Chain A
Amino acid sequence: MKTLMLGAAMAALSTGVSAQTIGFSQIGSESGWRAAETTVTRQEAEARGIDLRFSDAQQRQENQIAAIRSFVAQGVDAILLAPVVATGWDSVLEEAKEAEIPVVLLDRQVDSSEDLYLTAVGSDLVHEGAVAGQWLVDNKPEGACRVVELQGTTGSSPAIDRANGFRQAIEGTPDIEIVRSQTGDFTRSGGKEVMESFLQAEGGGDNICALYAHNDDMALGAIQAIKEAGIDPGDDILIVSIDAVPDIFKAMAEGDANATVELTPNMAGPAFDALAAYMADGTEPEKFIQTESALYTQDDDPMAQYEARKDLGY
């Protein structure tokens, strides 16, 4: 009986027409990026004809564990999990493994043994900072370049990693010097307030050649501070930041920002691809699939990028 069912299941898989059912346990919608990730995951599933069962955990691990158990009980083909915390997943992941349901982690990692999940899809925060730094190395004006840095929330891993990546990229370029570095708490108002103090402290802004912000929102606040000081952001002071939220593309289209590094909300696309390959012929993916940290500049038709992103829920 069991072999018969297994055989039927294999047959259904091999024909390739069976609509897959995949459960997705999302953390919640605490940020615009998270909301965009949910939207994009749904779009990707629809494009592939996958029946996506979505569960919003509202920031609680117990909700996520309950959702995974429910997915296992429903007998889904695979589970996507964006874990709210790193620890405490062992037993529920083992349950999924016993039911032979592959689990793919999105965006964040867990502290469980690697054989409990198929793979993890995520972005490399150090690499994001390095891409931003490399852009400045390639695009800085002739001569010395004094850079001010708006850091993320002190002690948070994006702030630490994005700072390190940027420094690694500019290491070989003695012309570039980070002269001021302060936290803007990842917020627009924080970015604006800190940028005002940078401008005051650096000769009204005359001594600043570029701004590196750990996220776009701080850059957007800083752009307003620079404008209000009578300086031209994008020309007098180069602006490079990370995340690629819709509003930064608007600023780029207006010539106020220069470059942004994308933290893609499309973690599900690579996850679905890895799952498809695994189910087709058992191809084991790498344990970490790094998403591309694409660089966008004013040459990449920012207005079209804005239009494409503005309805994703950012």
Chain B
Amino acid sequence: MSQGLRRLAPQLVTLAAVVALVSAFFPGFLAVEIADGRLVGSAVDVLKRGAPVALLAVGMTLVIATRGIDLSVGAVMAICGAASAWAVSNGLGLGAALALGLGAGLLCGLWNGVLVALFGIQPIVATLILMVAGRGVAQMITEGRILTFSHEGLAFFGAGDVVGVPTPILIWIVTGVAVGLLVRRTALGLLIEAIGINRPASALAGVNARVLLIAVYVASGLCAAIAGIVVAADIRGADANNAGLWLELDAILAVVIGGTSLLGGRFSVAASILGALVIQTIDTGILLAGFPSEFNLVIKAGLVVIILVLQSPRLGPGLPGFGLRAPRAAGVARTEKATE
């Protein structure tokens, strides 16, 4: 347990620092109250608004651990949200809507997985196809308009609450815990890391890399499907043009802030979720601070650069709690340079 906490220490410290910074600009940030029987407050908003990126980050972590990347998740969100909205607005039940949404995500994941695992296409290229084409598919489902619905059952997944806690928060917690347990209480996580570190070697050692690779892309597609349903339910409508737009980049950033190397290998689902919360805290903090909107992206970029530099292996070891695993962090620093 203490080892798990040590792994998460840099992300926890980062999150605390960002929360402290936002609180300095907006003192009531952590205040939570109960209004109309549900939790209300900026911190609750962060946990709720962070749901899409947190969900995407869960799937993205597994993909990145295999040394892959999934650029299509934003478009898959749009497809799945559109499929669910289409189902309820055509009089199908909630069950059918969820099945269609999740089924679409599963198919998208399967498509990516087959391209990567069977045809050996580089993940960035393979998933780029669906990233571009997927939004078109979503637009076909919605016929180019925002598909509005008033189905309370589906809206519950975005705007409802369970004993006062907004549903999206519960959804990402359950998904994160389920996937975390699945990969850490079984050998799955170890096998995924093995593929990411050295696929031929893992194959020689008897790991069925093909099936496992397809499985992680399917998992990513399913996570994107859940995120897409949450986003559509939240606004009671499927907006094919904007749902999940650019969220794949936030999801990758969340994984990187979570300390998982883009070069594959060791990963932590929990750390990626913390990364997603760090990003959302920054986003919400910027909105609360009331700066003119021209500054939004500059402030976000500045904070992200500071966070990544502090986590870098050169600076990290000098700070308590940072850079505990230099080899893994080294990968982060290298990719950072590559994206500059």
Instruction: Give chain A's interface residues, CB within 8 Å of chain B.
Output: 29-32, 35, 151, 154-155, 180-183, 185, 187-190, 192-194, 196-198, 200-201, 204, 217, 220-221, 224, 228-230, 247, 313-314
Contacts and interface: CB of A to CB of B under 8 A. Distances in A.
Contacts of B26: 201
Contacts of B146: 32, 188, 217, 247
Given A29-B144, A217-B146, A201 B236 contact: no
Nearest to B231: A189
A200 B235 contact: no
A183 B293 contact: yes
Nearest to B290: A180
Contacts of A154: 293-294, 296
B301 interface: no
A39 to B, nearest CB: 12
3 closest A-B pairs by CB: A197-B287, A183-B293, A187-B242
B326 to A, nearest CB: 37
A178 B292 CA distance: 12
Contact of A224 (B144, B145, B159, B243): B159
A155 B49 CA distance: 25
Contacts of B284: 197
B45 interface: yes
A230 B284 CA distance: 20
A256 to B, nearest CB: 12
Given A182-B293, A204-B40, A197 B239 contact: no
Contacts of B236: 224
B45 A196 contact: yes
Contacts of B242: 185, 187-190
B36 interface: yes
A247 B148 CA distance: 8
B234 A189 contact: yes
B5 interface: no
A183 B294 CA distance: 9
B28 interface: yes
Contact of A35 (B45, B145, B234): B145
A247 B145 CA distance: 11
A200 B288 contact: yes
A31 B42 CA distance: 33
B316 to A, nearest CB: 32
Interface of B: 26, 28, 35-36, 40-42, 45, 49, 144-146, 148, 159, 231, 234-237, 239, 241-243, 284, 287-288, 290, 292-294, 296
Given A181-B292, A192-B235, 7 more contacts: A32-B144, A188-B239, A189-B243, A198-B287, A201-B288, A230-B36, A313-B145
B122 to A, nearest CB: 29
B144 A35 contact: yes
Contacts of B288: 197, 200-201
B22 to A, nearest CB: 11
What is the predominant secondary structure among interface residues of chain A facing chain B?
Answer: helix
6 contacts: A32-B146, A154-B294, A188-B237, A197-B287, A217-B239, A224-B236
A194 B145 contact: no
Contacts of A247: 146, 148, 237
B240 to A, nearest CB: 11
A35 B146 CA distance: 12
Nearest to B52: A189
A255 B26 CA distance: 33
Contacts of A155: 294
Contacts of B49: 193, 196
B187 to A, nearest CB: 39
B30 to A, nearest CB: 12
A230 B144 contact: no
A314 B145 contact: yes
Contacts of B296: 154, 183
B290 A228 contact: no
Contacts of B287: 182, 193-194, 197-198, 201
A239 to B, nearest CB: 16
Contacts of B148: 247
Nearest to B33: A204
Nearest to B284: A197
A197 B45 contact: yes
Contacts of A224: 159, 234-236
B144 A313 contact: yes
Contacts of A35: 144-145
A100 to B, nearest CB: 36
A189 B235 contact: yes
A221 B294 contact: no
A198 B289 CA distance: 10
A81 to B, nearest CB: 21
Nearest to B237: A188
A182 to B, nearest CB: 5
A40 to B, nearest CB: 15
Contacts of A194: 287
A222 to B, nearest CB: 10
A74 to B, nearest CB: 28
B179 to A, nearest CB: 25
A181 B293 contact: yes
Contacts of A189: 231, 234-235, 239, 242-243
B159 to A, nearest CB: 6
Residue among B35, B41, B146 facing the most chain A CB atoms (10 A cut-off): B146
Contacts of B40: 204, 229
